[in-house]
Structure 1
């Protein structure tokens, strides 16, 4: 499959992941050909999430559609992902953030990765590292806590149970959560989302005291092996995370431009 198709798979998975959160939270959403919007509403000023999923011939047409959504939802803050880099949202008071790579991995086992699940291994410094799937509310709360403090999500700090990721997400088809522990203590986590075509990896997090001990790698390896190894995997990487994902077999399919507005006035 060519890079263009893999990029679209990644875009579609991200849109489906945010729509699953909309269902779990009871948020409004809009889906149009090539564009998905979610009206996040944990608080009145929660940033709304906008995702471009297909190339566009006329940026001005898409920008007007965005303007219509922002007006209809009385949007104050928003984050928009544009994998095609042709939009200019400065007139909306938005700031362009550094681009980030959209990466995909072809189906198949991770070389040297776990072959059993739940995964138990020795950490590089001698600790005992385990990775389990969160199947109940208490374990999912540990995952949420690790993501809020380890990713991190400053707007959700201090962490409160269900404030960022409600337990109802466990009931969303395709949504799974993975928890890494070092010597029995929560150390890291991530979510995966399977949309029937690809498995997206989201919010890979390691808590600060446990960084540099291989937690993120083992959590992601286990999630890839235990979720759907027969499907391609997708993610958006940070600059710090990209080298790890390359080692796990991910390759860059494109680079997405993020725009963010933090207040009504920009």
Structure 2
């Protein structure tokens, strides 16, 4: 029996989360041996997404397969996540824009997390910080707003409901959303996606006026404790988030390279 490495589990979860978004939006997708592609189409200039999921012996062969999809989809803009670092897409007009750690956390309890929801902290700046699961459309819209304005996602600003994360995602059995509020006002959020093997953490965000007060820690700690703590957790860390993730038990498995083409020269 083949046993997936933690890195492969993280890659598979990222691909599965993009496929869930494709289903929610009604986008075209393609899954091949070793990578997954999603034809994102929120707007005509939305970058298409490619996630490499397995090691490859011949980068040129992978690049050739990617080009075939780019041509078939008439792709203008794209982002390729390559956790193995062997691709060079400069000849396609792409720039290597990010190198970020892929991190995983082993299954187990989360220190300081509460057993019931909402999780409540009374120590937040004299107010009350609560974290709960978003179970309806209105609450999920607040999660979306926190992600768009707090992560942030500049291409989705100003925030419009459903423009980045459609409510249909709540109907996917793997997707869950978590909302942090201070005295009832939205402060931060994240999403998790469980694919049966691992639980991925995505878009951990805090609104600008609430940063530096422990909102992200509270949201992530609650999500980890309530979204299948019996499975490994995975994420890709930004430089701002990496120190927090390490304190919660995440360790680096690899550094993923992101290649992005913003436009094609005339």
TM-score range, shorter chain: over 0.9
Matches within 5 A, 1:107-122: 107-122=107-122
1:265 corresponds in structure 2 to: 265
Aligned length: 264
Q: Which residue of 1 aligns with 2:178?
A: 178
Distance 1:98 1:11 in 2: 16
Tell me, what secondary structure is at the counterpart of 2:179?
A: strand
Query: TM (normalized to structure 2)?
Result: 0.97
Counterpart Cα distance in 1 of 2:210 and 2:11: 31
Paired position in structure 1 for 2:34 = 34
5 Å matches for 1:35-184?
35-184=35-184
Superposition deviation, residue 103 in structure 1: 0.3
Paired with 1:124 and 1:160, the residues of 2 have a C-alpha distance of 29
| Cα distance between partner residues in 1 of 2:98 and 2:165 | 26
Separation (CA, whole Å) in 1 of partners of 2:51 and 2:193: 16
| 8 A contact 1:100–1:237 mirrored in 2 | yes
In structure 2, runs of 5+ residues without a counterpart are none
Shift of 1:127: 1.7
TM-fit CA distance, 1:148: 0.3
Contact 1:150–1:207 (CA<8 Å) still a contact in 2? yes
Structure 1 residue runs of 4 or more that deviate by more than 3 Å after TM superposition:
none
Corresponding residue of 1:246: 246
Q: Tell me, which stretches of 5 or more residues in structure 1 are unaligned?
A: none
Task: Pick closer, same or farther for the CA change 1:4–1:238 going to 2, 3 Å.
Answer: farther
Structure 2 residue aligned with 1:204: 204
1:118-170, CA deviations, whole angstroms, 9 ceiling, x for partnerless residues?
21112442220001111100000000000000000000000000000100000
TM-score w.r.t. structure 1 length?
A: 0.97
Partner of 1:11: 11
Aligned match of 1:233: 233
Give the RMSD, CA atoms, in angstroms: 1.3
Give the C-alpha shift of residue 48 in structure 1: 0.4
